[in-house]
């Protein structure tokens, strides 16, 4: 699978059903050729306003499944408040 194919998939946290964002980049260990993490671009939410972007690092071990349209991740401590 190509990075460009991964970048079109929604990232969903299975713990709370939240759409996290899209893949911006990968963290790779080039010495052994292994993907360590996904770098995901998210939008900072503050009362639903302001579109500031943030980057979130999702470790490969947190990926539950890569599907045709979505990537399911399990991040139990991620609990952002939307007001």
Residue 44 has what pLDDT?
Answer: 58
Residue 12 has what pLDDT?
Answer: 93
Q: State the DSSP string of 5-17.
A: HHTTSEEEETTT-
- Collect all residues with Cβ–Cβ distance below 8 Å to 38 and sequence separation of at least 6: 6, 11, 23, 25, 26, 27, 57, 58, 60, 63, 71
The residue among 23 and 83 whose pLDDT is bigger is 23
Matching residue, tokens 């709370």: 16
Residue 75 has what pLDDT?
Answer: 87
Instruction: Specify the number of domains making up the chain.
Output: 1
CATH number at residue 27: 2.30.30.240
Is 31 inside any structural domain? yes
Is 83 inside any structural domain? no
Residue 6 has what pLDDT?
Answer: 85
55 in Cβ contact with 65 (< 8 Å): no
pTM of the model: 0.76
pLDDT mean over 5-30: 90
pLDDT mean over 15-36: 91
Residue 50 has what pLDDT?
Answer: 58
């Amino acid at each position: 699978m190509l990075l460009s194919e991964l970048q079109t998939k929604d990232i969903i946290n299975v713990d709370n059903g939240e759409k996290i964002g899209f893949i911006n980049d990968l963290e790779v260990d080039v010495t052994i050729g292994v993907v360590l993490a996904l770098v995901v671009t998210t939008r900072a939410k503050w009362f639903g306003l302001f579109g500031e972007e943030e980057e979130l690092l999702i470790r490969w071990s947190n990926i539950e499944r890569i599907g045709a349209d979505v990537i399911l991740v399990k991040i139990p401590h991620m609990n952002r408040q939307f007001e």
